[in-house]
Homo-oligomer: A and B are copies of this chain.
Amino acid sequence: MTPSSASTAHTSNTDFYASHDKLYVATDCIIFGFDDGDLKLLIFKRRVEPDSGIWSLIGSFVKIDEDVDEAARRVLKEITGLEEIYMEQSKTYGKAERDPGHRCISVAHYALMRINDHDRELTQSHGAFWYTLQELPRLALDHQDMVRDALDKLRRRARYQPIGFELLPEKFTIPQLQKLYESIYQRELDPRNFRKKVLSLKVLVKLDEKDKSGSKRGAYLYRFDSEKYQELLESGYNFEI
Contacts and interface: CB of A to CB of B under 8 A. Distances in A.
Interface of A: 3-12, 14, 16-17, 19-26, 28, 44, 46, 48, 50-51, 56-70, 75, 78-79, 89, 91-92, 94-96, 98-107, 126-128, 140-141, 143, 156
A5 B104 contact: yes
A102 B24 contact: no
A16 B92 contact: no
Given A23-B25, A103-B65, A60 B11 contact: yes
A3 B62 contact: no
Given A5-B26, A79-B10, A16 B59 contact: no
26 contacts: A3-B103, A4-B102, A4-B141, A5-B98, A5-B102, A5-B104, A6-B24, A6-B59, A6-B60, A6-B61, A7-B50, A7-B56, A7-B140, A8-B26, A8-B44, A8-B58, A8-B143, A9-B75, A10-B75, A10-B78, A11-B78, A16-B64, A17-B24, A68-B92, A68-B95, A92-B92
Nearest to A61: B6
A78 B60 CA distance: 34
Contacts of A78: 10-11
A239 to B, nearest CB: 14
Query: Interface majority SS on A: helix, strand, loop or mixed?
Result: mixed
A122 to B, nearest CB: 11
A198 to B, nearest CB: 22
Contact of A64 (B23, B48, B140): B23
Contacts of A60: 6, 8-11
Contacts of A25: 23, 25, 94, 105
Contacts of A79: 10
A193 to B, nearest CB: 20
A140 B8 contact: yes
A194 B11 CA distance: 43
Contacts of A11: 60, 78
Contacts of A96: 65-67, 70
A238 to B, nearest CB: 12
Contacts of A7: 46, 50-51, 56, 140
Contact of A107 (B6, B12, B58, B92): B92
